[in-house]
C-alpha cells in the first residue's frame, strides 16, 4: 500500500502570506477584480437586467467570480456579490439604477428601523452559498477563495442615505443625533454579518474580507464606536465559530487610527488604502501583521512608466515583510486590461 505524500503546510501562497510568511514574490489579487473593466463580465452582465438578480444567480455569479482567475491567474478569487445583500436580507429592498449606483428606501427614524427584520434571512442568501459551492469545485489548487461583507458602519451608511454619498453625511448626522437608535442598527448588522460570514465559510471560502470603505470619514470616538468595535465583534464571532478561517480587514482611509485598530482587533491581515505610507507600514506594521495593498487604482488606469515604477516601489517597500499585493481601493471600470497584464508581469518578474 502506498501512503499519500504529506501535503505542504499550505498549497496556497495567500494562506502562507496570511500565516505571516515572507514569500519570494507576493501573491496578488485585486479588489473588484470581477467587474466592468472585463469585456467578458460586461457580456455576462448584459444577460440580466438587474444587478441584484445577477448577484442572486449562482450560475451568473459563479461565472463572474471565475472570469478574472481564468484571464489573469490571480492568487485568490473573490466571491461575486455585493455588500448590500445584507440590507436586502434584513428586509430593506435594494436596487441598482443603470449608471447611478444603489438605491434603498432610506432609514430616517425609529419607524424606518423597526421595519427591518430582527435577524438576517439566511434563506434569501442561499443562492450566494450555492455560488460558493459551485466556485470552490472549479478553482485551481493554489488559488484561495475569499468571501466578504461590508462592515456595519459602511453598510449602515447606505441604509440610512438610501444611496452612495461623497462623505456619508446622512449616516454621520443620524449617528450623532440618535446614538441609541444607531447602536441598535449597528448591533443588528454585527449579528447579521457574523451569521452571514460563518455560512460563507461553511459553504467553502477560506478567507473573509470585511470592507469598511467609509471608516475614514469618522472622527476618533465615532471611529472606535462605529467602525473598530463592530469589526472587533465580527472578528471574534467568526473566529469563535470558525477558528481556521482567515480574516482581512479593510478600514479604508483611517490613517493614524490604523495602529489602534491593530492593537484591538484580532485579524490576519490589514488592507491598506491608497494613501497609507508604505515606508511607515513596513517599519511599524509589518513586524506584527500581514498587509495587503495598495497601488493607486488611478495609476493602474494610467499605465506606462508610472505604473511600472509605482509597482516596483511598492514591491521594494513592502516585500521584506508578509505581504499580499493589491490595489488601495477597487479597480476602476475604465482600466485597460493590458495595464493589469503589465502590473502582473512586473510583480511576477
Interface residues with ligand 1CP (CB under 6 A) are 31-36, 45, 51, 78, 80-84, 96, 101-102, 148, 150, 164, 211, 213, 330
CA atoms within 13 A on the CB side of 51: 22
Choose between 273 and 319: whose C-beta lies nearer to ligand 1CP: 273
User: Cβ closer to ligand 1CP: 56 or 80?
Assistant: 80
Active site residue 313: no
- What is the Cα Rg of the chain in Å? 20
Beta carbons of 234 and 187 less than 8 angstroms apart: no
* Alpha carbons 233 and 193: distance in angstroms, whole number: 10
In the bound state with ligand 1CP, the residue whose beta carbon lies nearer, of 84 and 242, is 84
Note if 172 is an active site residue. no
Question: Is residue 45 among the annotated active site residues?
Answer: yes
CB of 313 to ligand 1CP, least distance (A): 23
Q: Smallest distance from the beta carbon of 41 to ligand 1CP, in angstroms?
A: 7
Q: Which helix (H) or strand (E) holds 12?
A: none
Cα 102 versus chain centre, distance: 17
Host H or E run for residue 109 = none
- For the CB of residue 93, give the shortest distance to ligand 1CP in the complex, in Å: 15
Residue closest to ligand 1CP (Cβ): 164
In the set 16, 41, 63, 82, the catalytic residue is 82
Nearer to ligand 1CP, 148 or 196 (CB): 148
Are 276 and 258 in contact by the 8 Å Cβ rule? The answer is yes
| Catalytic position from the list 25, 32, 103, 224 | 32
Shortest spacing between CB 330 and ligand 1CP, in angstroms: 4
Q: How far is the CB of 211 from ligand 1CP (least distance, A)?
A: 4
Give the count of beta carbons closer than 10 Å to the beta carbon of residue 257. 19
Catalytic residue (one of 75, 158, 196, 296): 158
Backbone phi and psi for residue 144, each to the nearest 5 degrees, phi listed first? -85, 160
Cβ–Cβ under 8 Å, residues 30 and 340: yes
Query: Is 82 among the residues known to form the active site?
Result: yes
Cis peptide leading into 294, omega within 30 of 0? Answer: yes
Instruction: Just list the catalytic residues.
Output: 32, 36, 45, 82, 158
Amino acid at each position: 500500500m502506498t501512503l499519500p505524500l504529506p501535503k505542504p503546510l499550505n498549497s496556497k501562497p495567500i494562506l502562507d502570506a496570511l500565516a505571516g510568511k515572507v514569500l519570494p514574490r507576493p501573491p496578488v489579487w485585486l479588489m473588484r477584480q470581477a467587474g466592468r473593466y472585463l469585456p467578458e463580465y460586461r457580456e455576462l452582465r448584459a444577460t440580466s437586467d438587474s444587478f441584484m438578480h445577477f448577484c442572486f444567480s449562482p450560475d451568473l455569479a459563479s461565472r463572474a467570480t471565475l472570469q478574472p482567475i481564468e484571464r489573469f491567474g490571480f492568487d485568490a478569487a473573490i466571491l461575486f456579490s455585493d455588500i448590500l445583500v445584507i440590507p436586502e436580507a434584513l428586509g430593506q429592498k435594494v436596487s441598482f439604477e443603470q449608471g447611478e449606483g444603489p438605491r434603498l428606501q432610506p432609514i430616517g427614524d425609529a419607524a424606518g428601523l423597526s421595519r427591518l427584520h430582527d435577524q438576517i434571512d439566511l434563506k434569501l442568501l442561499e443562492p450566494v452559498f450555492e455560488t460558493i459551492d459551485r466556485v470552490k469545485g472549479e478553482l485551481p489548487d493554489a488559488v484561495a477563495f475569499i468571501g466578504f461583507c461590508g462592515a456595519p458602519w459602511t453598510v449602515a451608511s447606505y441604509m440610512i442615505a438610501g444611496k452612495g454619498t461623497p462623505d456619508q453625511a446622512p449616516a454621520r448626522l443620524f449617528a450623532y443625533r440618535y446614538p441609541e437608535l444607531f447602536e441598535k442598527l449597528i448591533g443588528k448588522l454585527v449579528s447579521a454579518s457574523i451569521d452571514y460570514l460563518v455560512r460563507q465559510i461553511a459553504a467553502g471560502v477560506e478567507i473573509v474580507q470585511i470592507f469598511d470603505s467609509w471608516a475614514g470619514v469618522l472622527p476618533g470616538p465615532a471611529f472606535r464606536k462605529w467602525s473598530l468595535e463592530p469589526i472587533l465583534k465580527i472578528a471574534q464571532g467568526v473566529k469563535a465559530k470558525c477558528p481556521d478561517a482567515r480574516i482581512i480587514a479593510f478600514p479604508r482611509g483611517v490613517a493614524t487610527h490604523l495602529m489602534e485598530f491593530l492593537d484591538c482587533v484580532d485579524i490576519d491581515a490589514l488592507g491598506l488604502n491608497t494613501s497609507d505610507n508604505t515606508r511607515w507600514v513596513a517599519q511599524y506594521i509589518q513586524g506584527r501583521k500581514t498587509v495587503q495593498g495598495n497601488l493607486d487604482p488611478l495609476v493602474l488606469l494610467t499605465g506606462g512608466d508610472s505604473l511600472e515604477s509605482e509597482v516596483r516601489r511598492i514591491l521594494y517597500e513592502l516585500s521584506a515583510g508578509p505581504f499580499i499585493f493589491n490595489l488601495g481601493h477597487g479597480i476602476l471600470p475604465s482600466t485597460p486590461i493590458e495595464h493589469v497584464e503589465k502590473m502582473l508581469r512586473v510583480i511576477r518578474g
